[in-house]
């Protein structure tokens, strides 16, 4: 579980908007091997603060909430 957390943490650091906020390759390798400290990632620029799972299944509503024409598909097992 710890390796999963570290992998997600490093992934979030690697997609920071500002290049200087991203870790170097040696720092990334050290972090993934469990060595070295990781800074906290900043909120991504595309973060909207809304929970997309609360939206109704409406095409019009999905179009209205999209600021960048990104489509999010939630998959689930049938009940």
Residue 71 confidence (pLDDT) above 60: yes
SS3 62: helix
- pLDDT, averaged across the chain: 75
The SS3 assignment for 61 reads: helix
Alpha helices in 1-79 (DSSP H): 2-14, 25-32, 59-65
Q: How far apart are CA 40 and CA 72, in angstroms?
A: 26
pLDDT tens-digit map of 6-15: 888 998 898 8
The whole model's pTM is what?
Answer: 0.52
pLDDT at 17 over 70: yes
Domain ranges, ordered by start, for the chain: 1-46
**Closest-CA residue to 15 (of 38, 36, 46):** 46
What is the average pLDDT across 48-77? Answer: 60
Going from the C-alpha of 47 to that of each of 6, 26, 75, the distances in angstroms are 21, 28, 21
The whole-number average pLDDT for the span 49-70 is: 56
């Amino acid at each position: 579980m710890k390796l999963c957390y570290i992998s997600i943490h490093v992934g979030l650091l690697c997609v920071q908007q500002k290049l200087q906020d991203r870790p170097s390759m040696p720092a990334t390798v050290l972090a993934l091997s469990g060595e070295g400290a990781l800074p906290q990632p900043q909120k991504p620029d595309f973060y909207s603060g809304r929970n997309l799972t609360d939206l109704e299944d409406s095409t019009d509503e999905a179009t209205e909430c999209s600021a960048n024409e990104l489509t999010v598909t939630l998959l689930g097992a049938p009940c």
